[in-house]
C-alpha cells in the first residue's frame, strides 16, 4: 500500500509534517513501532489536527475526561516509537467514506470506535438525522453543510415567528443572534457534558471556536466525540398588559438595558410569565419550549 507521506520519526519530523500537510484534508495513521498497533483518523486540516497530538497537555487533559487508546499510547511510548503515515489526501465530502475504508482494511487496534466519524452506527436524535439528511442534499450543489444550516433556520423561523406580526416585520427579523447549545457524547453515545455556547465547549475541549463551528456547519467530527447542537432563539418578545405585541428585541442584554430591568429580574419574569410594572410581559421562545411559561393568553397569541 502506497502512502502520500510516511514519517518514521514524528518527533524529529514535526515541523516537516506541519509544513507538508497544512490546509490539506485527508486520512492519517499512527503506528506503534513496538507492538504494531495503529490508529486511523481524518481531518479537514491535517496540520491543525496533528497539532493536538503534539500537545501533551491536551492529551493529558482529554484522558482525564474520557478513554483514548491512541492518546494513552503516545504518552506511554513517546513520539519516537511511532510512525505517522498520511494515507491519502481527499475532498472533505469524501473524508468519512475514505476513513471507513482504511478502518475496514487496516483494522486499527487503537480505534475505539470502528465507525468513521463516531456518529454513524450510534443512536442519533431526530434533529441530527434531519440535519444530516439536509446536508447530504447539499453536496451536489457545492453548499455542503451550509444548505443544511439554512434549511434548519428556515424551519425554526416558520415555527416560532408570531403569526400576528406583519409580513414586513417578519422579513426584517433575523436569527443571526441565535445561541447554540452544545452537547458532548463519547463514541458510545454516553453523555459527557453540556455547554450553553460554542465558546465554552471549545474552552473545555482545549480547541478553537472555529473548530467547533466547522463541526456544526459540516456535521463532521475529527476526534472521538459526538457533538449535538441545539439552536436557541435569544430574542425577547415584549407584550403589553392586553397581550398585544410591542416589539421584539435581539437578546436579553439589550432588553435589560432598554427597559431598565436587571438581567436576573428579567430572567425571572420570563420564566414565571408575570406582568412587569403592570405594563409588560417578557417572552422567550426557549422558555416556551421548556414549558416554563405559564400564561395561556400569551402562549396562544405567540403560537
What is the spatial distance between Cα 94 and Cα 88, in angstroms, rounded to a whole number? 11
Query: In what side-by-side order are the strands of the sheet with 225-232?
Result: 191-195, 179-186, 225-232
- The pLDDT value recorded for residue 140 is 46
CB 108: neighbour CB atoms within 10 A? 20
Question: Could you tell me which residue, 133 or 6, shows the higher pLDDT?
Answer: 6
Q: Is 207 within 8 Å of 53 (Cβ atoms)?
A: no
Q: What is the pLDDT of residues 228-254, one digit of tens each?
A: 887 777 788 898 888 888 888 888 888
Q: How does pLDDT run across 24-59, given as a tens digit for each residue?
A: 999 999 999 999 999 999 998 899 999 999 999 899
Does pLDDT of 1 surpass 70?
no
Please tell me the distance from the alpha carbon of residue 226 to that of residue 204, in angstroms, as a whole number: 15
pLDDT in tens, 128-155: 444 444 444 444 444 544 554 555 545 5
pTM for the structure as a whole: 0.44
Query: Do 47 and 7 meet the contact criterion of CB atoms below 8 Å apart?
Result: no
Spatial neighbors of 1 by CB under 8 A, at least 6 apart, are none
> Hey, what domains does the chain have and what are their CATH numbers?
5-106 (3.40.1440.10), 126-232 (1.10.10.10), 236-302 (no CATH)
Report phi then psi at 286, rounded to 5.
-65, -35
Amino acid at each position: 500500500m502506497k502512502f502520500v507521506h510516511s514519517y518514521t520519526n514524528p518527533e524529529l519530523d514535526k515541523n516537516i509534517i506541519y509544513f507538508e500537510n497544512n490546509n490539506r484534508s485527508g486520512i492519517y495513521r499512527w503506528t506503534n513501532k513496538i507492538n504494531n498497533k495503529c490508529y486511523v483518523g481524518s481531518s479537514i486540516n491535517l496540520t491543525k489536527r496533528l497539532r493536538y497530538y503534539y500537545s501533551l497537555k491536551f492529551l493529558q487533559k482529554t484522558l482525564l475526561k474520557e478513554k483514548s487508546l491512541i492518546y494513552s499510547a503516545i504518552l506511554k511510548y513517546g513520539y519516537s516509537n511511532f510512525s505517522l503515515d498520511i494515507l491519502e489526501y481527499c475532498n472533505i465530502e469524501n473524508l468519512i467514506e475514505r476513513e471507513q475504508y482504511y478502518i475496514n482494511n487496516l483494522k486499527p487496534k487503537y480505534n475505539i470506535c470502528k465507525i468513521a466519524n463516531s456518529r454513524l452506527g450510534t443512536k442519533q436524535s431526530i434533529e441530527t438525522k434531519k440535519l444530516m439528511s439536509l446536508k447530504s442534499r447539499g453536496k451536489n450543489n457545492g453548499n455542503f453543510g451550509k444548505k443544511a444550516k439554512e434549511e434548519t433556520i428556515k424551519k425554526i423561523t416558520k415555527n416560532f415567528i408570531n403569526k400576528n406580526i406583519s409580513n414586513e416585520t417578519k422579513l426584517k427579523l433575523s436569527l443571526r443572534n441565535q445561541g447554540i447549545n452544545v452537547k458532548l457524547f463519547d463514541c458510545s453515545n454516553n453523555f459527557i457534558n453540556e455547554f450553553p455556547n460554542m465558546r465554552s465547549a471549545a474552552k473545555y475541549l482545549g480547541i478553537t471556536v472555529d473548530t467547533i463551528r466547522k463541526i456544526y456547519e459540516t456535521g463532521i467530527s475529527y476526534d472521538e466525540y459526538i457533538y449535538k447542537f441545539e439552536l436557541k432563539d435569544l430574542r425577547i418578545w415584549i407584550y403589553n398588559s392586553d397581550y398585544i405585541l410591542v416589539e421584539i428585541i435581539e437578546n436579553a442584554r439589550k432588553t435589560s438595558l432598554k427597559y431598565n430591568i436587571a438581567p436576573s429580574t428579567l430572567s425571572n419574569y420570563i420564566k414565571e410569565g408575570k406582568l412587569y410594572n403592570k405594563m409588560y410581559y417578557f417572552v422567550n421562545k426557549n422558555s416556551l419550549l421548556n414549558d416554563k411559561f405559564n400564561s395561556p393568553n400569551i402562549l396562544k397569541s405567540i403560537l
